[in-house]
């Protein structure tokens, strides 16, 4: 794998622009936003850094071929034309996964099977040996994306989804994805510049991701492995250098994580301890209705119960309480509410200045910004309108800008695990 590599970083709908900004900061070139992803190019170093450092990427695909394909024979020939011996050895295992939206093929299983046959036939013809298929835990993951008559073949360089950071030892039924939490923080302009409050922290995803961003700790330090480490061209020395570089910046402010449930506060604080971030986050059992912040100004991000997911359909009074508490105790704060409850959001009764549409799993949610100042209880002229949002292209907003036990690497890796302290 020499020279410029074409890559696709995948993310959740609505987070494409924050991911683009992360990739540009890391040095990506030819950066283009696509639906639920960002296309970019760069060196092998860029591929490793995108996996190791991005807070809002779910996986990084290395594109190895783009073809016009009309039928199964075309597909077989295109796959057979790639020099697979360059990427892996016959004693390694592989798996093919396909997404198909094409009249040429009516099912993704058939596309995966045809691709697998072409790869195996090439190994047999060249070496008289073939790699085995392992769908559970393959060394090499091949992706096929067929749309109309365009077929893109790529290698998944991440393996397990990058949202599975590895610091979480406990969660509740409403825990959000780490990538979504990081995306919300980035949309809200969080860089560690002030105090941050999550008054309904659940398992602590938002405060923990906030501490990682504030201290510039790459989320990859918690992971046991990336798929690119099994590739034939894996450059261990280069990855060691990236892994052991100095990323951290000082963080002078505090993160406050509260929840009404003592069990959730316990889970959240154990997760933070496991991530080595306990000293940055102050946890407390606290009902939001009586919360008075220590500092006069700051950022507040809250992800209240939605109703559907938490088996509680009576959420409206809770949202009325959130609006009242923000108005009463949080003047001077920038407040953001992330929720999938349309009825609940209506009950907040405050004027919002921005609104983003995002998804929590399949559930459409909104992320609303309320600037807390005197007289903010007037209804907004724009309530009910989509602001700054282009449904087709996703979110086109510009935005304001261890001793870690579960993530210990195994094997003779020279990289030294750095516990945030």
Residue 152 or 203 having the CB closest to ligand SAM: 203
Q: Which residues bind ligand SAM (CB under 6 A)?
A: 172, 174-176, 199-200, 202-203, 205-206, 258-261, 264, 287-289, 303-305, 318
Continuous segment of H or E residues that includes residue 23: helix 16-26
Residue 314 and residue 145: Cα distance in Å, rounded?
Answer: 43
| Smallest separation (angstroms) from ligand SAM to the CB of 34 | 27
Whether 367 and 184 have beta carbons less than 8 Å apart is answered as yes
| Smallest separation (angstroms) from ligand SAM to the CB of 51 | 23
| Smallest separation (angstroms) from ligand SAM to the CB of 368 | 15
Structure tokens at 211: 């501490």
Report the first-to-last Cα separation within the chain, whole angstroms: 37
| Smallest separation (angstroms) from ligand SAM to the CB of 363 | 11
| Smallest separation (angstroms) from ligand SAM to the CB of 248 | 24
Residue 144 or 206 having the CB closest to ligand SAM: 206
Q: Rounded to the nearest 5°, which phi and psi values hold at 181?
A: -60, -45
| Residues facing 254 on adjacent strands | none
Continuous segment of H or E residues that includes residue 346: helix 342-346
Structure tokens at 15: 């987070």
DSSP string, 301-341: EE----STTTT----HHHHHHHHHHHHHH-TTEEEEEEES-
Residue 243 or 258 having the CB closest to ligand SAM: 258
Residue 207 or 407 having the CB closest to ligand SAM: 207
Structure tokens at 242: 């990236």
Residue 96 or 257 having the CB closest to ligand SAM: 257
Residue 326 and residue 345: Cα distance in Å, rounded?
Answer: 13
Instruction: Output the 3-class SS for 217-278.
Output: CCHHHHCCCCHHHHCCCCCHHHHHHHHHCCCCCCCCCCEEEEECCHHHHHHHHHHHHHCCCH
Residue 205 or 274 having the CB closest to ligand SAM: 205
What's the chain's length in residues?
A: 421
Residue 12 or 258 having the CB closest to ligand SAM: 258
Residue 88 or 288 having the CB closest to ligand SAM: 288
| Smallest separation (angstroms) from ligand SAM to the CB of 171 | 6
| Smallest separation (angstroms) from ligand SAM to the CB of 186 | 16
Structure tokens at 146: 């067929």
* DSSP assignment letter at 155: E
Beta-strand (E) ranges in 185-280?
196-198, 255-259
| Smallest separation (angstroms) from ligand SAM to the CB of 168 | 9
Residue 244 or 308 having the CB closest to ligand SAM: 308
| Smallest separation (angstroms) from ligand SAM to the CB of 269 | 12
273 CB contacts (<8 Å, ≥6 apart)?
none
Residue 150 or 342 having the CB closest to ligand SAM: 342
| Smallest separation (angstroms) from ligand SAM to the CB of 52 | 23
Q: Which residue is nearest to ligand SAM (CB)?
A: 202
Whether 143 and 153 have beta carbons less than 8 Å apart is answered as yes
DSSP string, 40-75: EEE-HHHHHHHHHH-SS-SEEEEEEEEEE--SHHHH
Residue 348 and residue 116: Cα distance in Å, rounded?
Answer: 54
Continuous segment of H or E residues that includes residue 77: helix 72-80
């Amino acid at each position: 794998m020499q020279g410029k590599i074409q890559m696709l970083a995948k993310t959740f709908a609505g987070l494409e622009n924050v991911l683009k900004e992360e990739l540009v900061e890391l040095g990506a070139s030819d950066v283009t936003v696509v639906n639920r992803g960002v296309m970019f190019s760069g060196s092998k170093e860029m591929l490793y850094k995108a996996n190791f450092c991005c807070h809002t990427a779910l996986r990084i695909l290395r594109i190895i071929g783009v073809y016009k394909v009309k039928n199964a024979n075309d597909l077989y020939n295109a796959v057979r034309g790639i020099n697979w011996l360059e990427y892996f050895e016959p004693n390694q295992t592989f798996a093919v996964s396909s997404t198909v939206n094409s009249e040429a093929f009516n099912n993704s299983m058939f596309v995966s099977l045809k691709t697998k046959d072409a790869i195996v036939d090439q190994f047999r013809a060249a070496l008289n040996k073939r790699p085995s298929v392992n769908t559970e835990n393959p060394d090499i993951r091949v992706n096929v994306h067929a749309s109309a008559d365009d077929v893109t073949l790529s290698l998944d360089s991440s393996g397990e989804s990058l949202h599975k950071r590895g610091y979480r030892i406990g969660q509740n039924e409403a825990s959000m994805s780490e990538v979504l939490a990081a995306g919300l923080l980035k949309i809200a302009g969080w860089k560690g510049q002030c105090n941050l409050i999550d008054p309904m922290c659940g398992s602590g995803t938002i405060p923990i991701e906030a501490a990682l961003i504030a201290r510039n700790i790459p989320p990859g330090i918690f992971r046991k492995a990336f798929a690119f480490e099994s590739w034939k061209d894996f450059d261990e020395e280069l990855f060691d250098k990236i892994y052991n570089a100095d990323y951290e910046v000082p963080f002078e402010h505090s993160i406050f994580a509260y929840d009404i449930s003592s069990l959730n506060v316990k889970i959240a604080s154990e997760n933070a301890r496991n991530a080595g971030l306990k000293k940055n986050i102050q946890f407390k059992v606290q009902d939001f209705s009586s919360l008075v912040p220590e500092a006069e100004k700051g950022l507040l991000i809250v992800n209240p119960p939605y109703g559907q997911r938490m088996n509680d359909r009576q959420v409206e009074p809770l949202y009325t309480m959130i609006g009242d508490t923000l108005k009463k105790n949080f003047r001077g704060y920038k407040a953001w509410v992330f929720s999938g409850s349309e009825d609940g959001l209506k009950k907040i009764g405050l004027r919002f200045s921005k609104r983003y549409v995002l998804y929590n799993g399949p559930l459409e949610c909104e992320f609303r910004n309320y600037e807390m100042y005197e007289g903010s209880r007037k209804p907004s002229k724009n309530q009910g309108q989509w602001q700054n949002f282009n449904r087709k292209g996703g979110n086109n907003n510009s935005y304001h800008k261890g001793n870690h036990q579960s993530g210990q690497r195994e094997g003779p890796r020279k990289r030294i695990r750095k516990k945030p302290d």
